[in-house]
């Protein structure tokens, strides 16, 4: 018997060609589902070998040989970090307390992940796959199994920049509450929708603000090929429209508020 087959195992326990083919078909089907969750291909290959060795112990030596070859030719570049580890690193580098939930929200704001509530998992977006990977994980109680996102070190500078921008926004809000004026419009980089509506002397309700935000997102994506970014405004992640694209925001306000209500603004009817 070959050294690649366990010598302690009887020949009768070796899989027949039909059994092996049927098992591999099942494993490949399950692996296809894992691929759809974004789990790294190297991790899926390791999982397939483990399934094969568990089902047919007589092939464990053969499987270990294949796993060794896989590890030498297709290593996973980084183990990756969870949001708790990222939060600890960011707390130190940003010199303020940052919680894992804050990190998850920041990763959503950056467009790197989305939440699948039905499955209780985070999923990488196409842009997020550059900074992280999904691995198969099982809870300690074995009540849940699925993809778990791990992040590379390359995401840290982007998160630091995000939280720094968040701090700057909070400082501006604090200054406003203390009676200090905002920077003049000539120095402004972004407009927030609520801020722009107030600037134009208009009033809006929650439903109107929702529709304005939808109009802006669609028109901005049509112009730039991607949705507008978000920044913290009044402790909420809100669409931040660059000054150069304020015409898109004004057009949305015009459609939803001005044309609906027929209001004149203090600065005159918006012309778009």
Which letter does DSSP use for residue 77 in this model? S
Residue with tokens 């039905």: 118
Flag whether pLDDT at 270 surpasses 50.
no
Is 142 within the bounds of a domain? yes
Same domain, 195 and 233: yes
Is 257 within the bounds of a domain? yes
Q: Which of 28, 48, 73 is the last residue of a domain?
A: 73
Q: What confidence tier does 267 reach under pLDDT thresholds 50, 70, 90?
A: very low
pLDDT tens per residue across span 176-209: 554 444 455 667 888 998 889 888 888 888 888 8
The DSSP result for 200-250, as a single string, is TT----HHHHHHHHHHHHHHHHHHHSSPPPEEEETTEEEEEEEGGGHHHHH
Which pLDDT does position 36 carry in this prediction?
67
Is 66 within the bounds of a domain? yes
Q: The pTM is what? A: 0.42
pLDDT tens per residue across span 132-161: 988 766 655 655 566 789 999 999 999 998
Which pLDDT does position 93 carry in this prediction?
87
Same domain, 201 and 232: yes
Query: Considering its fold, how many domains does the chain have in total?
Result: 3
pLDDT tens per residue across span 121-133: 888 898 998 999 8
Same domain, 33 and 102: no
The domain in which residue 144 lies consists of 83-158
Flag whether pLDDT at 72 surpasses 70.
no
């Amino acid at each position: 018997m070959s050294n690649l087959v366990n010598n302690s195992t009887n020949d009768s326990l070796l899989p027949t060609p039909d059994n092996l083919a049927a098992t591999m078909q099942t494993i490949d089907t399950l692996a296809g589902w894992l691929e759809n969750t974004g789990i790294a291909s190297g991790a899926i290959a390791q999982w397939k070998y483990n399934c094969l060795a568990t089902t047919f112990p007589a092939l464990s030596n053969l499987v270990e040989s294949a796993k060794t070859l896989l590890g030498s030719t297709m290593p996973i570049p980084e183990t990756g970090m969870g949001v708790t580890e990222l939060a600890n690193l960011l707390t130190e580098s940003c010199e303020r307390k940052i919680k894992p939930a804050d990190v998850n929200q920041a990763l959503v704001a950056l467009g790197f992940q989305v939440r699948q509530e039905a499955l209780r998992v985070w999923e990488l977006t196409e842009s997020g796959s550059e900074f992280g990977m999904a691995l198969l994980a099982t809870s300690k109680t074995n009540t849940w199994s699925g993809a778990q996102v791990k992040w590379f070190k390359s995401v840290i500078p982007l998160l630091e920049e995000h939280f720094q921008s968040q701090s700057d926004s909070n400082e501006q809000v604090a200054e406003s509450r203390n009676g200090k004026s905002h920077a003049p419009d000539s120095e402004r980089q972004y407009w927030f929708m609520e801020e722009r509506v107030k600037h134009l002397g208009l009033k809006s309700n929650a439903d109107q603000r929702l529709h304005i935000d939808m109009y802006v997102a669609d028109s901005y994506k049509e112009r730039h090929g991607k949705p507008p970014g978000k920044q913290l405004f009044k402790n909420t992640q809100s669409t931040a429209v660059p000054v150069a694209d304020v015409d898109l925001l004004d057009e949305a306000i015009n459609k939803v508020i001005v044309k609906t209500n027929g209001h004149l603004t203090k600065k005159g009817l918006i012309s778009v």
